Amino acid sequence: MPGAGLWPRPGAACFWAGLNKGKRSIAVDMTHPEGRDLVTSTITAPGEVGGVFLTNLAVRGWLDYQTLRQHRNDRIMVFLLGDRNGRPQVDYAMNPALGIPDITGPKGHDDPIASALPAWDLFAGHLCVSSVMAAERQRLRKGIGQDVTRSLKDVAAATLGHLGMIGDALLNETPRGKSGNALYGAYGQDFLCADGRRVMVIGLTSRQWSGLVKTTDTGAKMAALEGRTGRDLSDEGVRWVLRKEINEVLKPWFAARPAGVIGPMFDEAKLT
């Protein structure tokens, strides 16, 4: 079974254990008629909690919606495809195909950097659960079933659109590059503290930005930066353009204090 032999050691994979905690399972040989009958009866079980089937298996023949509907007319099926054409997809391969590793990592780093977080798997999983709940709600209200098909790749593409990344690529003359740990389009940066630990600060909203400046007592220096550049740092886009200069202003403050001191200060200022 995929995932069962992953690290830290075969037979004790954290990934596998995490995904399957709290679940009950059975093993069925679906190549035999008895196995198919057992699966069919389980999927089409009577009652309000029965008749729900969430899968990424190939739903053909005896497993397709119309065939199973003969056993229960109000059954709900949510089917997750790799892409809309039925081809399989894996998050860690699809993410590079979308270009995310090319905009991830330190500035000037030519090689792509893969994400350790399988974001599209997580989003698609939550969407499938939401689809089941919406279909079940309609069944409770109107007594009808639903046949829902989702695609992992469509979930990823839609997410990029919602985040403005597709529009960014269309409108900007130059491709978006790597920007390290900076917050693209606004202000955010990690800093090295006196104890060798790092903290990440965000100045996205006006409240966050003004709080950051006040807590670090850098108001005069930020005003001087505005005077030299003729730019207004209350504009989040300007903070992105001048992020290097802002970093140089803030860097000494963080370098002079341990993270254990900075944390409570930021908590008091409601910056975390």
DSSP assignments along 181-193, one per residue:
TS-TTS-EEEEE-
- The residue ranking higher by pLDDT, 14 or 156, is 156
- The encoded tokens of residue 214 equal 């006040």
The answer on 218 and 111 residing in a single domain is no
Q: End of a domain among 128, 162, 196?
A: 162
* Structure confidence at residue 60 (pLDDT): 83
Question: How many domains in the chain?
Answer: 2
Residue 173: pLDDT over 70: yes
The answer on 250 and 121 residing in a single domain is no
CA separation (Å) from 119 to 37, 46, 116, 231, 266? 36, 35, 9, 36, 29
Q: Which of 29, 74, 91, 121 is catalytic?
A: 121
Listed residue (90, 86, 85, 94) closest to 157, CA to CA: 94
Confidence of residue 15 (pLDDT cuts 50, 70, 90): confident
Q: End of a domain among 126, 147, 162?
A: 162
The answer on 123 and 67 residing in a single domain is yes
User: Of the ranges 50-64, 123-137, 223-237, which one carries the lowest mean pLDDT score?
Assistant: 50-64
The answer on 234 and 120 residing in a single domain is no
**Pairing relation of β-strands 198-202 and 188-192?**
antiparallel
Residue 2: pLDDT over 80: no
Instruction: State how far the Cα of 146 lies from the Cα of 68, in Å rounded to an integer.
Output: 12
* Structure confidence at residue 4 (pLDDT): 54
The answer on 113 and 30 residing in a single domain is yes
Q: Is residue 7 part of a domain?
A: no
* Structure confidence at residue 25 (pLDDT): 85
User: Of the ranges 79-93, 218-232, 240-254, which one carries the lowest mean pLDDT score?
Assistant: 79-93
Positive or negative torsion for Cα 92, 98, 122, 132: negative
Q: Locate tokens 């740092």: which residue?
A: 233
Instruction: State how far the Cα of 149 lies from the Cα of 146, in Å rounded to an integer.
Output: 10
Mean pLDDT over 142-166 rounds to: 94
The answer on 145 and 51 residing in a single domain is yes
C-alpha torsion angle, residues 103, 108, 111, 112 (rounded to 10): -10
Residue 256: pLDDT over 80: yes
Residue 220 one-letter amino acid: A
The answer on 257 and 145 residing in a single domain is no
Q: Is residue 122 part of a domain?
A: yes
The answer on 97 and 19 residing in a single domain is yes
Q: Locate tokens 């606004």: which residue?
A: 186
The answer on 138 and 19 residing in a single domain is yes
Question: What's the domain range around 121?
Answer: 14-162
Residue 174: pLDDT over 70: yes
- The whole-model pTM stands at 0.82
CATH of the domain at 102: 3.40.50.10540
Q: Catalytic annotation on 91?
A: no
